[in-house]
Amino acid sequence: MHIDRFEAMFLRLGVVMLAAFAVAVAISVFGLGVQLPGEVDQIDPRAVADVPGFDNPGLREVYPGRYEAYIVAQAWQFTPSEITVPAGSEVTFFLTSKDVIHGFHVFDTTINVMIIPGQIAEVTYTFDEPGIYDFYCHEYCGSLHHTMLGRINVVEQ
């Protein structure tokens, strides 16, 4: 079968690009720790306040250096919108929405999840460096979407 020189060149280029993307995914997963947000459970978005954890949103210390943060998104705020942990803490975030799809992106971290009503998203991150980590909603959720902000204060031990 005859394959034109340029067609063969583009076929090879396609294979090289696929290999490059596979390497990029491998580096981000195994090297940079980028992870898919886990879907923990399905819940009734109208009854978020009855779900253990979300009945009293906030930060809990599971054991020293290990925290869980339950955060509820609702147009147009996060509850709570500010948490404080010591540097070196590993925080597992559990997030859900009471109304529409929201987002949760924390600057300078790999945390970037969609918050879908009826689902609980889970993402874990270790905050090694002290500082202020702002987070915001990155899914358009209505007229005051741009006001859905919050912050994580990571303080010196």
- The residue ranges that bind ligand CUA (CB under 6 A) are 76, 102, 137, 139-141, 145, 148
Nearer to ligand CUA, 53 or 117 (CB): 117
All residues at 6 or more sequence positions from 76 whose CB lies less than 8 Å from its CB, including other chains: 137, 141, 142, 144, 145, 147, 148
Position 38, amino acid: G
155 CA to centre of own chain: 21
Angle, CA 52 vertex, CA 150 and CA 81 arms, to 5°: 5
* Nearer of residues 72 and 85 to ligand CUA, judged by Cβ: 72
Is residue 80 within 8 A of residue 57, CB to CB? The reply is yes
Tell the smallest beta-carbon distance from residue 73 to ligand CUA (Å): 6
Closest contact distance (angstroms) between CB of 74 and ligand CUA is 8
Residue 28 vs 81, nearer CB to ligand CUA: 81
Q: How far is the CB of 138 from ligand CUA (least distance, A)?
A: 7
Given a contact cutoff of 8 angstroms between Cβ atoms, the answer to whether 109 and 41 are in contact is no
CB of 94 vs ligand CUA, minimal distance in Å: 17
Question: How far is the C-alpha of 137 from the C-alpha of 106, rounded, in Å?
Answer: 9
Which is closer to ligand CUA, CB of 71 or CB of 85? 71
